[in-house]
Chain A
């Protein structure tokens, strides 16, 4: 298994509260991604990073922010959680951004916003 750890694995929170999810990797891969997975939608990219302090938006970035201050850590923050952000969140890493850039996924975080 690729060395990817997501924390927490499960979280229940209330609408309007801030939430931070953490992705930690031990592979020294340059590229990191945050996805959400919802029934009928598959995996959708929220934000990605191509290096320390280098991040960009994906297709569903509204309401989310990210930070990457170290190669190994990529944080996803919901500034003020809403019920529509109830989902399973996956972090992924890859050592290439082009061509055969196989992405390896963490175990996921199940977030419920009540």
Chain B
């Protein structure tokens, strides 16, 4: 999606922390989603933010700043199984139900 920017690839060591940034531009705002996608598989839902602040869910947290058009996904205590692509998706006010997806960030976890 041309209005969603996220890094192409990140590498981190097992047990470390990685932060994946996402910037977005939408007409109005109706939510920011993060999905995880392992190679050859379907995307699976990780988190949803609509208000400013941090949402924590186990090892994964997601942060949103609406005024800055910015979100990040924080992965803590990295495990080998966290190697995957992480997709940021935003929904604009007038884009009912229609996600704008970023191209995804490939996270590689090394031993």
Known interface pairs A104-B45, A105-B42, A107-B42. Does A44 touch B96 (Cβ–Cβ under 8 Å)? Answer: no
- Residue total for B at the interface (Cβ-Cβ under 8 A): 23
A-B pairs under 8 A by CB, number: 56
Say how far B92's CB is from chain A's closest CB, in angstroms: 12
Complex: how many Å from CA A108 to CA B41? 7
Say whether A74 faces chain B, with CB atoms less than 8 Å apart: no
- B96-A97 in contact (CB<8A): yes
- A41-B99 in contact (CB<8A): no
Q: In the assembled complex, which residues on chain B have CB atoms less than 8 Å from the CB atom of A107? A: 41-42
- B104-A42 in contact (CB<8A): yes
Q: Which of A33, A42, A45, A58 has the most CB of B within 10 A?
A: A42
| Chain B residues touching A, majority SS | loop
- B98-A48 in contact (CB<8A): yes
- Who on chain A is nearest to B41 by CB? A107
- Who on chain B is nearest to A90 by CB? B42
Say whether B19 faces chain A, with CB atoms less than 8 Å apart: no
Q: In the assembled complex, which residues on chain A have CB atoms less than 8 Å from the CB atom of B41? A: 107-108
- A99-B99 in contact (CB<8A): no
- Who on chain A is nearest to B88 by CB? A42
Closest 6 CB pairs of A and B: A97-B97, A105-B42, A42-B103, A43-B101, A42-B101, A105-B43
Which residues from chain B sit less than 8 Å from chain A, CB to CB? 1, 4, 30-31, 33, 41-45, 48, 50, 87, 89, 91, 96-99, 101-104
Which residues from chain A sit less than 8 Å from chain B, CB to CB? 31, 33, 40-45, 48, 50, 58, 90, 94, 97-108
Given A44-B1, A44-B101: 15 more A-B contacts, CB < 8 Å = A41-B103, A42-B102, A43-B101, A45-B99, A90-B43, A99-B30, A99-B31, A100-B31, A101-B31, A102-B45, A102-B48, A103-B33, A106-B42, A107-B42, A108-B42
A-B contact pairs, 8 of them (CB 8 A): A31-B97, A41-B103, A43-B89, A44-B101, A99-B31, A100-B31, A101-B91, A105-B43
